[in-house]
Amino acid sequence: MFDAVDPITLARIQFAFTVSFHFIFPAFSIGLASYLAVLEGLWLKTGKTVYMDLFKYWLKIFAIAFAMGVVSGIVMSYQFGTNWAVFSDKAGPVVGPLMAYEVLTAFFLEAGFLGVMLFGMNRVGKKLHYVATLMVAGGTFISAFWILSVNSWMQTPVGYEMGANGQFLPGDSWVEIIFNPSFPYRLVHTVLGAYITTAFVVGGVGAWHLLKDRTNGHARKMFSMAMWMAALVVPVQIFAGDMHGLNTLEHQPQKVMAMEGHYESHPDGAPLILFGIPDSEAREVKYAVEIPKASSLILKHDLNAPLDGLDTIPLDEQPPVGIVFWSFRVMVGLGFAMLGVGLWSLLARWRGKLYDWRWLHRAALVMGPAGFVAVIAGWITTEVGRQPYVIYNLLRTADAASPLDAPAVGASLIAFVVVYFAVFGTGTWYILRLMSHPPHLGEMGVKRGDTGPIRTAGITPGPTQDPGNLSPDSLSSLKYVEPEDPEVKL
């Protein structure tokens, strides 16, 4: 059934599917880890049980999201060897060490402290447990740091040398490679996006429970905290996105041309096209709704500044305009919708109606998943806008793929789709089920199995009894005693 399909197209679809599915979970866990650190810090500072109840409530959700993020990310590493072996061979000397640094720093840090964070509340001191929570939160950020450094280098490659066999070799300074021209902007924009994504999930869950019971103090607290994030951080994100766009215009102009829908150059000021239907054959945006010269004002801060269009770029170097054009508008549109919810919450807070305005709660509930859609749309804009290159202006996507037949790639793609929706769909359903239960006083946290690890040698006698002196009668009298631990098994 795949004989007539281009294997490179199937490989791209497969990687796009797995990375989009994977990106959902880190975008949530990065922000949620920091939110948990804030909750535990406020509990230590104020002693208010509401913060610890919310910490335990969201800790269970974090554990599942974190696990699914790790598992879904492993698959992409294998695809570098199966579907993109040429890319791995040519870019491995630069990309490989950066990804190894992510494992050696972030992964080890998270693995070392995650168990203490999840299960150590009653086993270590409060301050030590808080340190563990901070380490996990820091680990998620460090992980994003290295992964985004790799991706940014592929977008704006610098600091490399070309080997005799066509490989990209690191030059004199790894600092230049790591802190490549687009990395600081992409790091800030992506991490803020993760924080905002988490804020709207928390706000949506809080709004859901307020709609059912507006007197729930725990729901009030989480909704208030989320709306503060929406009101204060979304404007910062819009500014960071604008700076990222200006950096992209400098280093990847054809990506911005596709985002703006500028098929033609505008020597006297370019219009801002709000909506329309890009037609790459006719080289125009049909039914365009535009604001004259506004694009030049945004990108050049001058109404009459000239802007080049795609007519200055060879056809074989232009990205797919339709996908980039609309994914960018989805991201920006959702960003301004989030800003609207944040400003609405400020008005409600100023009038003392934050917990009473039902339409605000409904809006926050509807916007709960908006962050996930926005970050995926932004990721599509970034990756598709780089095409037809996998390493910008240096290695084409068509030249980076493994020499595979279409049926082989198609079969693995179908397997990924089935397994991902079955496994991660179930995990997502369970997360939503946890969220449907309202947080309450004395919230239970994550707990490992009561019986501990399985002992293949059978029953292990208690420490006060010599196993050699146990009789059949004494063995029959042994019983299991429920541990005195207030936490509940997940």
Domain-located, residue 345: yes
Residue 480 included in any domain: no
What pLDDT shows up at residue 441?
74
pLDDT score, position 124: 85
List CB contacts of 341: < 8 A, sequence separation 6 or more.
200, 203, 227, 230, 360, 363, 364, 367
CB 361 within 8 A of CB 207: yes
CA distance 281 to 286: 11
Give the separation between CA 399 and CA 9, rounded to whole angstroms.
12
Q: What is the mean pLDDT of the chain?
A: 85
Lowest mean pLDDT, pick from 11-25, 249-263, 375-389: 11-25
DSSP codes of every residue in 73-85: HHHHHHHHHHT-H
Q: Quick check: 361 pLDDT over 50?
A: yes
Whether 402 maps to a domain, the answer reads yes
Q: How many domains does the chain have?
A: 1
> Average pLDDT for residues 26-48, to the nearest whole number?
92
Residue 51 domain-assigned (yes or no): yes
Q: Which domain holds residue 254?
A: 7-265+308-446
φ, ψ for residue 38 (rounded to 5)?
-65, -45
**Residue 455: inside a domain, yes or no?**
no
Residue where the block lists tokens 């974190």: 66
For the segment 159-163, the average pLDDT, to the nearest whole number, is 88
Predicted pLDDT at 73: 79
Task: Report which of 314, 295, 313, 318 is spatially closest to residue 305, judged by C-alpha positions.
Answer: 295
Task: Tell me the residue length of the chain.
Answer: 490
pLDDT average, residue stretch 106-126:
85
Res. 459: pLDDT tops 50: no
| pLDDT classification of 476: cutoffs 50, 70, 90 | very low
| Residue 214 in tokens | 């507006």
Give the confidence band of 444 by pLDDT, cuts at 50, 70, 90.
low
Residue type, 129: H
Q: What are the CA-CA distances from residue 88 to residues 160, 186, 213, 399 (Å)?
A: 15, 23, 54, 12
Alpha-carbon distance of 286 to 93, in angstroms, equals 45
Dihedral, CA of residue 17, residue 18, residue 21 and residue 23, to nearest 10: -120
Whether residue 416 is contained in a domain is answered as yes
pLDDT at 443: 60
- Is residue 107 predicted with pLDDT exceeding 60? yes
In a domain? residue 26 = yes
β-bridge partners, 266: 307
Residue 489 has pLDDT above 70, yes or no: no
- Give the pair of three-digit tokens for residue 134: 């901070």
pLDDT for the residue numbered 475: 42
Angle at 126 between CA 123 and CA 130, to 5 degrees: 105
284 φ, ψ (degrees, to nearest 5): -155, 165
User: 75 and 18 in contact (C-beta within 8 Å)?
Assistant: yes
Looking at residue 410, its pLDDT comes to 83
Q: Residues 417-441: what's their mean pLDDT?
A: 86
Residue 316 pLDDT > 80: yes
Count the neighbouring beta carbons within 10 Å of the beta carbon of residue 151: 21
Q: How far apart are CA 439 and CA 216, in angstroms?
A: 8
The 3-state DSSP class for residue 274 equals: strand
Structural domain contains residue 464:
no
Range 226-249 average pLDDT: 93
The per-residue pLDDT for range 270-307, each reduced to its tens digit, is 899 898 899 888 888 888 898 988 898 988 888 888 88
Min mean pLDDT across 171-180, 214-223, 452-461 is at: 452-461
What pLDDT was estimated at residue 442? 64
Q: Average of pLDDT values for 157-170?
A: 89
- Confidence at residue 457, expressed as pLDDT on a 0 to 100 scale: 45
Q: Is the pLDDT of residue 465 over 60?
A: no
> 3-class DSSP state for residue 39?
helix
Q: For residue 389, what pLDDT band results from cuts at 50, 70 and 90?
A: very high
Smallest CA-to-CA distance from 335 within 200, 223, 187 is with 200
Measured in whole angstroms, how far is the alpha carbon of residue 372 from the centre of its chain?
8
